[in-house]
Structure 1
Amino acid sequence: MRQDRIARLRQLLETRELDAVLLAGSASLRYFCGFSGSDGALMVSADAVIFLTDSRYTSQAGQEVVADHIRQYSGKVEGIAGLIGEQGWHRVGFEAEAISFALAQRLQGQAPQECDWQPLGQEVQALRQRKDAEEIRIMAAAARLAGDAFEEIRPTIRPGVTERELALALEFAMKRRGAEDKSFDFIVASGERGALPHGVASQRRLAAGELVTFDFGARWQGYCSDETVTLALGEVPAQLEEVYHVVLAARRLALEQVRPGVALRELDRVARDHIAASGYGPFFGHGLGHGVGLEVHEQPLVSGRSEAVAEIDMVFTIEPGIYLPGAGGVRIEDTIQVTADGYRRLTCLPKEYSVLPV
């Protein structure tokens, strides 16, 4: 598995005419060499895979890392620059989204003057957008874990409880089931706060007659889950129930279009057109979805700006929403795997309109 990933990275080296590439982002390190610590670097050339870290992680690297060589440095910049000089690499690509401008400048100052540094944008992340069978197994397990935790706390969703109390209860329920961490700060947005697409849980108390949106995920074996449900607390205003069914239909229409070869912007268009035709076009501002994997937001982008097409074993979200300022909002989200004949839903909670007792 690692050899296949390194082979694809080496194809990038050839395409960009690079002597070596420097990776430092935690997702890239885990993906290409297996390292799960918080500080290290991986340098890959046509004939060598070399992992570098400091004394805090040398033993861990020895247990986890798959590489030709593991080297310990006392200073990160000096260790990387020294290796470049030692190997005589002249054209080095670096993971620009994971290496800060300050670190890049220090590396340029320490490395041999003839070294030509080439920033790599999303090319590196693009190598991770098609998942293998083991990745998909882990992501499905993470989604089940998160879904089971949500079902555990569902009876506690009632008027008077705060959004933050529910978010904490959900996090604890996930961790009791073995989650390494949450995928992101949970969104729990009730009542008028439902109009905030990223309404991180607050001290607001839930009340009867309103909607509440939960956007949550678990991290397990390094991989993320991501799912959103919106529930009604008793009977809600007719417009909010209508909005729910509009969003639910937009989700269904988009899912029906998923298949290998379809343009991802087409999925966004189908959902957006339905919401617009229902009179709520101005209230759906974000893209339809995003890739999920070692990071909760990664390639591919599913939006009107996307240039990607669906490929077998891509994993991404479908999450249409409508947000009415001062009234509330609805978002419904699933994470799916593209299959040969359509899609497989990795998230598992039901998405039909659900009314909780008050």
Structure 2
Amino acid sequence: MNPTAPTGAARIDTQHRIDRVREQLAVNGWNGLVVLDAADVRWLTGLESSNAAVVVTSTATVVATDFRYVAEAESLGLQVAKIEQSMWTDLGRVAGELAAGGSLAYPPAGLSHRAFLQFTDTLPDSVQLRAADGVVAKLRVVKDAPEVEKIRRAAALLEGAYDMVASMGLEGRTEGDVAWAIEKHLREAGASALSFESIVAGGTNGAYPHHHPKGDVIPADTLVTVDIGCIVDGYCSDCTRTFAVGDPGPELRAAYDLTLRAQEASLAAVKPGAHGAEVDAVARDIISDAGHGDHFGHGLGHGVGMEIHEAPRLSRTSEDVLEAGMIVTVEPGVYLPGVGGVRIEDLVVVTDTGHEVFTNYTKQLVQA
């Protein structure tokens, strides 16, 4: 089996990914692995579906899905088991046949109690289940060259969106209007969708890290945090810049300068072998030493790929170690209740010698 994307899309050979899963089968002594997560299914097969599972053995890779996706799966060159009764009942039958009386690894986090009962009801008694969450997700952490290029392209679109924001004149506009203008720009520039709902947080709303833009009018003499991302060929980007509207005053200017200093210092710490907790500490210590430790309450960053939040994590509790090919955000912030906030975020890929920044819009405080 050598699945590729359908005609008209970029051709993606996923056989090497299936081979990596088979290596895990051999290492763990499993006859088969059931894959349920939608992003994992897409990474392994190229199939984007709301109702599909994959069973991988040493000799077969079978996609179980319903009528809506059968033709598309077959066009990708996949071996398909059509769901006739229910996903879990039919999946148990298919997985049981493929496991051939041996051990079958499955992700318990992906199954409700009811689904588990239906799944196991049709499994032969000779199959031994092995709980194994995150098998494919761990393989997705290090991106291959085509994945890196797609994320680079998605990130490149954000610079034009920020140029547009800077030229809009934000004072008197609603946050929702600005968010809509960003989405329209990104889609017209070639994005298939947003990575997440754009965050536009003006004035005191900037103190809320994940503020949802609504009808609030952006006032004069403040800061506006704009956190955006888009999807290109199934891969996400993520970036944050904070803009000035008039004179934000000394307190917010100081918060901006502090955040920028912390961001650039922690960015410099991103390299192979660095621990996620250590990189986080670089930014956190700078912000804490300035008296704002309580105003930076989230992790420094996260992985980005097919999903907007993936491993590895840059946080106080992270045990992740950075490797070349991992893509992470670096996004410290200072959030001042009742005053406003600042966040500055770049998207970077870890390289053999350090890192490369994908998001190159200026980090100097821009008037918008």
| TM-score (normalised: structure 1) | 0.94
Task: List alignment gaps of at least 5 residues for structure 2.
Answer: 1-12
- Residue aligning to 1:292: 304
Name 1:276's counterpart in structure 2.
288
Mapping 1:30-179, distance limit 5 Å: 30-64=42-76, 66-67=77-78, 69-74=79-84, 75-87=86-98, 88-179=100-191
Secondary structure of the residue aligned to 2:311 is strand
Please state how far the C-alpha of 1:156 moved relative to its aligned partner. 2.1
Partner of 2:28: 16
Counterpart-to-counterpart distance in 1, 2:263 and 2:106: 38
Secondary structure, in 3 states, of the residue corresponding to 1:179?
coil
> Could you say what secondary structure the match of 1:127 adopts?
helix
**Correspondence list, 1:114-263, <5 A:** 114-263=126-275
Q: Is the 8 A contact 2:81 2:94 kept in 1?
A: no
The superposition leaves residues 58-89 of structure 1 with CA deviations (integer Å, 9 ceiling, x where unpaired) of: 1111223x54x222122312321121232324
Distance in 2 (alpha carbons) for counterparts of 1:300 and 1:15:
23
Contact preservation (8 Å) 1:184, 1:217: yes
Q: Distance in 2 between matches of 1:303 and 1:136?
A: 23
Q: Which amino acid aligns with 1:104?
A: F
- Paired residue for 2:318, among 306, 315, 318? 306
Q: CA deviation at 1:40?
A: 1.0
AA at the equivalent of 2:27: T
Gaps of 5+ in 1: none
Query: Does the Cα contact within 8 Å between 2:302 and 2:328 map onto a contact in 1?
Result: yes
> Which region of structure 1 is more displaced relative to structure 2, 253-262 or 6-15?
6-15
Secondary structure, counterpart of 1:201 in structure 2: coil
Deviation at 1:106, TM superposition (A): 2.3
Is 2:352 the partner of 1:315?
Answer: no
Report the Cα offset of residue 107 of structure 1: 1.1
Q: 1:89 to 1:328 in 2, by over 3 A?
A: farther
Number of residues paired by the alignment?
354
Residue 56 of structure 1 aligns to a residue whose secondary structure is helix
How much identity, in percent, do the aligned residues show?
35
CA offsets per residue over residues 299-341 of structure 1, 9 Å max, x none?
1011121111111111011000111111111111111001112
Is the partner of 2:67 in helix, strand or coil? coil
Q: Is the 8 A contact 1:126 1:300 kept in 2?
A: no
How far is 1:116 from its partner?
Answer: 3.4
**Distance in 1, Cα, partners of 2:110 & 2:102:** 21
Question: Where does residue 7 of structure 2 map in the other structure?
Answer: none
Deviation at 1:97, TM superposition (A): 4.2
The answer to whether the Cα contact below 8 Å between 2:39 and 2:306 also exists between their aligned partners in 1 is: yes
User: Is 1:3 aligned to residue 15 of structure 2?
Assistant: yes
Task: Give the Cα separation in 2 of the matches to 1:150 and 1:205.
Answer: 19
The answer as to whether partners of 1:51 and 1:71 remain within 8 angstroms in 2 is: yes
